[in-house]
Amino acid sequence: MTTSLPKGSIVALVTPFCEDGSVNTEKLRELVEFHVSHDTDGILVLGTTGESSTMTEEEDDLAAKTVIEAAAGRIPVIVGAGSNNTATQLDKAKKYEKMGADGLLLISPYYNKANTEGLVRHFTTVADTVNIPIILYNIPGRTGMSIPVEVVERLSRHPMIQGIKEASGNISYAMNVSKLLNDDFVMYSGNDDIIVPMMGAGASGVISVLADVAPSQTHDMVSRYLNNDVQGALSLQRELLDLIHALFIEVNPIPVKEAMNLMGMDVGGYRLPLYPMEEQHREILKRELQKAGLCA
């Protein structure tokens, strides 16, 4: 079986909020149209960038349902269903599959972590139940643990576990994971600053914050690499590097939401503990957006 997961640029979508702090479903639908019209290859809703950690279960469901309905099969939608509680993760996964999600992103358990067998079962409990592709999410900077390569190897043999978002920034780890890649198990870069190096290690694309503000350029970078224009892809990666660094000058998604607001996209604010960025950082971000021709 060949995975049905998309290749290319998958945007890690922000969750826009209204002035009263509620989820802005109208803006969510606008963002889906924006990405469909700018060649984005897939949408991830309720990832780290989507602030689901401070949203209620009802708000998570509303955001997922809104994006899936707005996409209407025109672009694949992957939903973040992860939790450090395996039972909660299973409930979410079943619900989002029923809603029409094209895939699920499942994170390794944060805070409580797990031993090896617990980690395997954390993912396989869901994989044994659903019939849509699962992407593992390795982001030790957020979870306090990296998924051991030997665990990834075991999980990669499961027919429903078809990919990994590798966001450790550790190319050595990515190279070891790359030995497991095939038509049934793919890797995505989880770091915008090393998309091309990660594709050199076998990644099929990126799950991207950059794509929130520069969707066409992110798609083009990945597309060039997939079409054997390595130098062209590398050139674009270098051109965008200063902007990428500015998008991570404070904890994600503070800068990317600020960037989108500077671009006139009106995605609203954040939920505590996230807070508007420092003015000096905002000026750096604005300067890089201007240099990239993305805001006035």
pLDDT digits (tens, 9 = 90+) for 168-219: 999 999 999 999 999 999 999 999 999 999 999 999 999 999 999 999 999 9
**Contact criterion met (CB below 8 Å) for 216 and 243:** no
pLDDT for 54-110, tens place per residue? 999 999 999 999 999 999 999 999 999 999 999 999 999 999 999 999 999 999 999
Q: Quick one: average pLDDT of 119-145?
A: 95
Give the pLDDT band (50/70/90) at residue 1: low
- Own/partner long-range contacts of 217-222 (Cβ < 8 Å, ≥24 apart): 218/9, 218/11, 218/40, 218/192, 219/8, 219/9, 219/38, 219/39, 219/40, 219/41, 220/39, 221/9, 221/195, 221/196, 222/7, 222/8, 222/9, 222/41, 222/195
| H or E stretch at 186 | strand 186-189
3-state secondary structure of 160: coil
Active site residues: 137, 165
3-state secondary structure of 133: coil
What does pTM read for this prediction? Answer: 0.95
| H or E stretch at 286 | helix 279-291
**Contact criterion met (CB below 8 Å) for 55 and 274:** no
Helices 254-262 and 230-247: crossing angle, nearest 10°? 100
CB within 8 A of 157, min separation 6: which ones? none
**Contact criterion met (CB below 8 Å) for 106 and 128:** no
DSSP state of 179: T
